[in-house]
């Protein structure tokens, strides 16, 4: 990451079937610092977490995220338990998550600031999939 990155933000997610809720949280996260790293859940982690494979593969999701103006770098999130390692590796100053995770990551506040942002209402990957299925 380059020298303009004085305040580094990190966030995590699956970002499957990319939608407006994803874009909004990423641009809000980016505006809290100078650079944004995104940990994209691996296909295996997603299977363990949600019991189903994502619609888009990890390669596709990484490429979509890396192509966004508000994202400075992406990496694969292999395990929910590795957050401390990722925070240290990417020298993050702020961990941003949606408020569906509120309180779940407070214990990382000894490593960086932890902030939960409100989710965009009425949109989710599941809802988009259902909308397509009923077309
Ligand atoms: N999000 C949002 N508004 C929505 C939907 C999602 O702000 N309407 C946010 C979530 O709160 C999350 C991010 O978008 O911060 C990514 O959402 P998901 O892909 O659902 O991520 P998730 O599967 O919860 O993975 O280590 C944590 C996990 O990897 C998070």
pLDDT for 123 equals: 93
Nearest CA to ligand 1 atom 12: 98
**52 has a pLDDT exceeding 70:** yes
Taking 90 as the threshold, does the pLDDT of residue 69 lie above it?
yes
Tell me if 1 is assigned to some domain. Answer: no
For the chain, what percent of residues have pLDDT higher than 90? 93
Task: Let me know if residue 75 belongs to a domain.
Answer: yes
Cβ atoms of residues 114 and 92 within 8 Å: no
Model confidence band, residue 24 (pLDDT cutoffs 50, 70, 90): very high
Model confidence over 75-132: pLDDT tens digits? 999 999 999 999 999 999 999 999 999 999 999 999 999 999 999 999 999 999 999 9
pLDDT over 90 at 45, yes or no: yes
- Residue at 3 is within a domain: no
In-domain check, residue 56: yes
Sheet holding 94-98, edge to edge: 73-77, 35-41, 8-13, 94-98, 113-117
Average pLDDT of the chain is 96
Sorting pLDDT into bands at 50, 70 and 90, what band is 1?
A: low
Domain hosting residue 123, numbered range: 8-134
Using the mean position of ligand 1's atoms as its centre, give its distance from the Cα of residue 15 in Å.
Answer: 7
In the structure, which protein residues have their CB atom closer than 6 angstroms to any atom of ligand 1?
Answer: 12-15, 21-22, 25, 41, 77, 80, 97-98, 100, 119-120, 123-124
Check which CATH number belongs to the domain holding 122 and give it: 3.40.50.620
**Total of domains in the chain:** 1
Distance between Cα 98 and ligand 1 center (Å): 6
User: By alpha-carbon position, which residue is closest to atom 4 of ligand 1?
Assistant: 21
Query: Residue 135: what pLDDT?
Result: 85
Measured from the CA of 25, which atom of ligand 1 is nearest?
A: 7
Is 45 part of a structural domain of the chain?
Answer: yes
Residue nearest to atom 10 of ligand 1 (CA): 98
Domain-located, residue 2: no
62 in a structural domain? yes
Residue 2 pLDDT more than 80?
Answer: no
Mapping DSSP to helix (H, G, I), strand (E, B) and coil, where does residue 114 land? strand
- 40 in a structural domain: yes
Q: Are 52 and 129 in contact (CB under 8 A)?
A: no
């Amino acid at each position: 990451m380059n020298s303009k990155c004085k305040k580094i933000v990190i966030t995590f997610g699956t970002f499957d079937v990319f939608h407006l809720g994803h874009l909004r949280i990423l641009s809000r996260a980016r505006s809290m610092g100078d650079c944004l790293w995104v940990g994209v859940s691996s296909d295996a982690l997603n299977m363990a977490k949600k019991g189903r494979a994502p619609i888009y593969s990890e390669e596709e999701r990484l490429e979509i995220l890396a192509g966004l103006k508000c994202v400075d770098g992406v990496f694969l999130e292999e395990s929910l338990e590795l957050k401390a390692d990722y925070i240290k590796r990417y020298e993050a100053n702020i961990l941003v998550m949606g408020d569906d995770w509120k309180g779940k990551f407070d214990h990382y506040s000894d490593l960086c600031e932890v902030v939960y942002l409100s989710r965009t209402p009425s949109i989710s990957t599941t809802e988009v999939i259902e909308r397509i299925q009923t077309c």
